[in-house]
Amino acid sequence: MSRSQLVSSGVIALVALAVGFLLAGQIKAQLLTPSNQVARNQALVHSVQDLERTNDSDRRQIAALRAQIDALEAQAASQSDTTRALQSQVADLRAHAGLTPMRGPGVEVELANGSPSADPTGQARYLVNFQDVQDLVNLLFGAGAEGISVSGRRITPVSSFSGSEGEVVIDQGPPLFSPIKVLAVGDRNRMETALQDPALLPSLRVRQLQFDLGLKVTGAPDLALPAYDASLEIPHVGPA
């Protein structure tokens, strides 16, 4: 290749690069809303992301601390019968509180947002909300579930549900979004029968028809639930 060919190739490459960036810049500028609303929202989104990172790191720390405490207790239990008996009691209580992983037969339920069709109520009812998850969890416990997790979050005896449109917050969060996967270990047949009962979960069933909300149930011979990884503090409660 001659010097002039080399130069012309370089010029073409530079021009292509500049055109690419100009094009990207132009379209990007057109995408931005011409108000500072986006900037304000971006600041809020960044705050949420920072808090979610802290939340995630705190959960990992809690799980690690609980594992270390378990190991220290197991070490002590190997040297004393009294400690071993106490440890066994605590292990059973921890299992019922959702503090240890669990496995067994059960059902897997997937809830997914429907189609954003016109909703005369203006309530975005095509979105999965926290009441849907709450109703489903209550139904499963009533139908023989011994342990439940929601999108990887283990449910405890003091769990609660909150959130806004399309956002589900369980206990100390962070928010979960569709699709929501609920795993329940327990009496598989009873749970499957309850989930097929058209009289139960009325809100979900109506919206399933109206907005094509997803409700998929699968039975499984062996499901694994994670341990609870957040706070179980009840500072205002004492023994009577």
Site for other proteins in 177-216 (CB under 8 A): 185-188, 202
Residues 79-108 that bind other proteins (CB under 8 A): 79-80, 82-83, 86-87, 89-91, 93-97, 100-106
**Sole window of 5-13, 107-115, 207-215 interacting with other proteins (rule: CB under 8 A):** 5-13
Q: Mark the segment that binds other proteins (CB under 8 A) among 107-115, 170-178, 206-214.
A: 170-178
d(CA 83, CA 161): 37
How many residues belong to the site for other proteins (CB under 8 A)? Answer: 107
3-state SS, residue 171: coil
**C-alpha closest to that of 115 among 20, 212, 210:** 212
Matching residue, tokens 């799980």:
63
Binding-site member from 3, 36, 152, 167 for other proteins (CB under 8 A) = 167
Please identify which residue in the block is written with the tokens 């399933």. 208
- Tell me how far, at minimum, the Cβ of 35 lies from other proteins, in Å: 12
DSSP 176: B
CB proximity list for 52: less than 8 A, separation 6 or greater: 173, 174
Note whether 112 binds other proteins by CB under 8 A.
Answer: no
Residues 211-230 binding other proteins (CB under 8 A) are 224, 230
Cβ atoms within 10 Å, residue 229: 21
- Taking the C-alpha atoms of residue 177 and residue 164, their distance in angstroms, rounded to an integer, is 11
Q: How far is the CB of 151 from other proteins (least distance, A)?
A: 16
Report the alpha-carbon distance of residue 156 to residue 148 in Å, rounded: 8
Q: What is the bridge-based pairing of β-strands 180-186 and 145-150?
A: antiparallel
Residues 11-70 that bind other proteins (CB under 8 A): 12-13, 16-17, 19-21, 23-24, 27-28, 31-32, 38, 40-42, 44-45, 47-48, 51-52, 54-55, 58-59, 61-62, 65-66, 68-69
- Which stretch, 107-115, 135-143, 207-215, contacts other proteins (CB under 8 A)? 135-143
